[in-house]
Amino acid sequence: MKRLVVPTLALLGLYALAGCGGNGSGSAASSSATAAAPASTGGVAATSQYDGGPRAADTPIDESKVEVGKGLFQTKGCSACHAFGRRLSCPDLAGVTHRRTAAWMEQQILHPDVMTKTDPISHGLFATYALQMPNQGLTPDQARAVIEFFKHTDHEAGESTSK
């Protein structure tokens, strides 16, 4: 019986190293690189070179990019896996701009395969969701527009809950 369990665990370990998607939901908001450990990283504090500093929601929204970002989110298929306020097959994006920096989200959007292999937060998300976020081939400007859409969406959700 042990022979069956050990190879299975070894395969799970290799699968976890293969990559992860997600955009960072699941971590507590923090302004330091050593954010409180989310459940999605197994309770181990994960640090990221891209997630130190102010959260994306702490910066002003560039309203001129929101509609472009919303369109990209829809046309690139992001909404097939991600939603706001509910989990589909990947992390719920509600509040993501309060949990992550714009730099982390940009890297995750532009280089999801690299982030899974090198970023502990992204790697932890893969351990939870077991899906690799595909690289949609966005430009840095397009990725920033998507982030502005996320910021706008989080801001709107915050206003509606405070009324």
Q: Identify the domain containing residue 125 by its residue range.
A: 19-161
Residue 10 lies in a domain: no
Residue 124 lies in a domain: yes
Residue 4 lies in a domain: no
- Count of structural domains within the chain: 1
Residue 145 has pLDDT above 90, yes or no: yes
pLDDT digits (tens, 9 = 90+) for 44-92: 456 899 999 999 999 999 999 999 999 999 999 999 999 999 998 999 9
> Nearest CA to 94 among 16, 17, 23?
23
Residue 12 lies in a domain: no
| CB neighbour list of residue 25: distance below 8 Å, 6 or more residues apart | 40, 91, 92, 93, 94, 95, 96, 99, 125
The domain spanning residue 149 has which CATH number?
1.10.760.10
